[in-house]
Structure 1
Amino acid sequence: MADVSAGTPAPPEQVVLLDDDGRPIGVADKAAVHGASTPRHLAFSCYGFDRAGRLLVTRRARDKRTFPGVRTNTCCGHPAPGEPMEDAIRRRLVDELGLGAVDLRLVLPDFAYRASAGGVEENELCPVYVCTLVGEPRPRPDEVDSVEWWSWEAFLAAARLDDDLSPWARLQAPLLDARRDAWGRRPA
């Protein structure tokens, strides 16, 4: 059977728009929604650790529209309309880093933030997950400029010092640290 999708451009990535209480109110193209005044939408952050307890820290690609070139947690993204959050996280980990995830756990279900840089605002309800990563990182250059393995203490120190870390990671780090017992292990 012939592949009718060959040569057809992929449909635009969509995000789920939310009201102030976090209820879905619609969808919008991701490329069109991020601007100087971004409507609230659903996202996620994932902190991936290796079996030794080191955190995989990524530097966002320098040509990304939002927060280019900053260091951040392992993976961020947006679930597609109707896509389960855990599936979206696994999809982005594979797509951006070539990694699998086990022991994926929701740690901060109600995390939300607003931040701006370079004329683009983020306005997200952004549940935060932790996981154990499977495989060796193979970053996709249009998404991830570089990767590094950090101790949890080094990440916390960077968050306190505002050391070239994304605004959401700076906010999430102390909240995650306060919930370390909920993770089921203590990272190195």
Structure 2
Amino acid sequence: MKTTEHRPAAQLSSAVSWYSKILPPALVLAVLIIAAGIQAGLGPVGVLLLLAGVVVVPGTIYKGTKGLFRRRGIPDRWRAALVAALMLAGAVVCYLLPVASPVPETVTGLLLGNLGLVFFRRWLNVSAHVSVLTFGVLWIMATYGAGWAWLLILSPLMIFSRVSLGEHTLREALSGAALGAATFCCFLAVMTWS
């Protein structure tokens, strides 16, 4: 007689790992930038240029230069500062062209969120996964309406995922959610000011 042993802990670990992998910050940022570009009526070429300038190039520089910076003894904060400078340049270009709303406001919000991550990571390993996802969910609700409120479950699931994987403590994950909400408030302020 054969019995099957179920291992719920192993299945749960696999599920939380999968969840973090399918919603990395870069993918969430890309979705937001594409949605903002479509909402602004930029067309395919405009959306691709926006995506390249705001997500792909800064992300590639951030991820691709890690070894180079470390080999040369340059602190990681300089990589983050370089990405922030590129995002600032992207925001300025969006306002100068001018690109239709909500693109400049979204890029400004993402810039402020990135600066928040750089600043707060000096003292606390704030979760970028949770921060970006929280901002993204709130942004989608503000842009497309309350019918998207069901997405609010994604942030608590990401908090659970990051803590369960041991990538962050509960305090760090909750700080990520607070930073994402604060970034969204900055986005709303910029939308109101514009």
TM-score (norm 1): 0.28
Greater C-alpha Rg:
2
Greater strand share, structure number: 1
Which of the two has greater helix per residue? 2
